[in-house]
Amino acid sequence: MQNNTFSTLFVGQNLINLLAVDSTNNFLKNLLSKSEPLPEGTVIMAEDQFAGRGQQQNSWHAEPGKNLTFSLFLKPTFLPLNQQFLLNMAISIAINNALSVYLPKGLSIKWPNDIYFNHQKLGGVLIENAIMGNTIKNAIIGIGLNINQPTFPEELSTKATSLYQILQENVNLHKLLAEICSQIESLYLQLKANNYTLLMQNYVDKLYKINETSLFRQNGEVFEGMITGVTTTGLLNVVRDNETSQYNFKEIEFLNSK
Ligand code: BTN
């Protein structure tokens, strides 16, 4: 177990810092498949993640040494399978809370768990759960945040942003990681204590474009609708022509309109 200065009980207390790795999620998955037990709260961080993975088989781009790319190991065995989205909620709220110290305005969570500043993506979360029976045995929480990266490849330049682009100054990566770990621990303990209602309210309050008319696409059809909330199972509630429908991640596409 490696020691560090984080003021948490367990999240980030075992911190493994890698110079280069394909993906911190892959590294953590391999570590878990070995017989030695790994302490809950272990964080694998990489300076250079050269084959990072994103949602929906996308890749995750991060300039070496300038960003936060890390994976956290949790054991949310107390969470029934049909409520696993609550973990996504807790993690995205925690990241938002930690970043709000640097960005008091403009942060939001784009459903399901993209971290947004105004209309651009500041970070993303890839949670990979190992299921046993009706519970989540292991959760690998992969987090990628654009921090001190000054520019992005052309195809990302209008969609992505970084703390550096917003603040015009560098942020200490280790300090920010400590703040995120502390927030995650507090939200995770809230989840463990069954404080679901508060958590859901907090998540919905932070949702990008909540209660605003927006454009969506479903099966090739573009329509106007309004996000009004989410269900505990993570479905998005969208009101269209005075009727509420529920969508899962793959069913609906949010069209970026400012
Ligand atoms: C997304 O598509 O928005 C999710 C991005 C998740 C990226 C992080 S970086 C650390 C961890 N390791 C990976 O390979 N992916 C996640």
Beta bridge partners of 53: 59
pLDDT at residue number 1? 53
Give the residue, out of 69, 147, 152, with the most ligand 1 atoms within 8 A of its beta carbon, to mutate for a pocket test.
Answer: 69
pLDDT at residue number 36? 80
pLDDT by residue for the chain (258 residues), tens digit each? 555 678 999 999 999 999 999 999 999 999 999 978 899 999 999 999 999 999 989 999 999 999 999 999 999 999 999 999 999 999 999 999 999 999 999 999 999 999 999 999 999 999 999 999 988 999 999 999 999 999 999 999 999 999 999 999 999 999 999 999 999 999 999 999 988 999 999 999 999 999 999 999 999 999 999 999 999 899 999 999 999 999 998 899 888 655
pLDDT at residue number 200? 95
C-alpha dist (Å) from residue 234 to 104, 198, 205:
26, 15, 15
Amino acid identity at 158: T
Tokens read off for 131: 């299921």
The b/e string for 83-95 (b: 16+ C-beta within 10 A; e otherwise) is: bbbbbbbbbbbbb
13 lines ligand 1 (CB under 6 A): no
237 lines ligand 1 (CB under 6 A): no
124 lines ligand 1 (CB under 6 A): yes
- In the reported structure, the alpha carbon of residue 69 is separated from the centroid of ligand 1 by a whole-number distance in angstroms of 7
- In the reported structure, the alpha carbon of residue 59 is separated from the centroid of ligand 1 by a whole-number distance in angstroms of 8
pLDDT at residue number 184? 98
Contact between residue 135 and residue 115 where contact means Cβ atoms under 8 Å apart: no
Tokens read off for 20: 């280069």
d(C-alpha 163, C-alpha 248), whole Å: 30
Contact between residue 47 and residue 94 where contact means Cβ atoms under 8 Å apart: no
126 lines ligand 1 (CB under 6 A): yes
pTM here is 0.95
142 lines ligand 1 (CB under 6 A): yes
Residue nearest to atom 11 of ligand 1 (CA): 142
d(C-alpha 256, C-alpha 218), whole Å: 14
Tokens read off for 118: 């105004």
Closest ligand 1 atom number to CA of residue 114? 3
Q: Report the chain's C-alpha Rg in angstroms.
A: 18
pLDDT at residue number 229? 96
- In the reported structure, the alpha carbon of residue 101 is separated from the centroid of ligand 1 by a whole-number distance in angstroms of 23
pLDDT at residue number 22? 98
Maximum CA extent, the chain: 56
Nearest to 78 by CA among 91, 69, 70, 87: 87
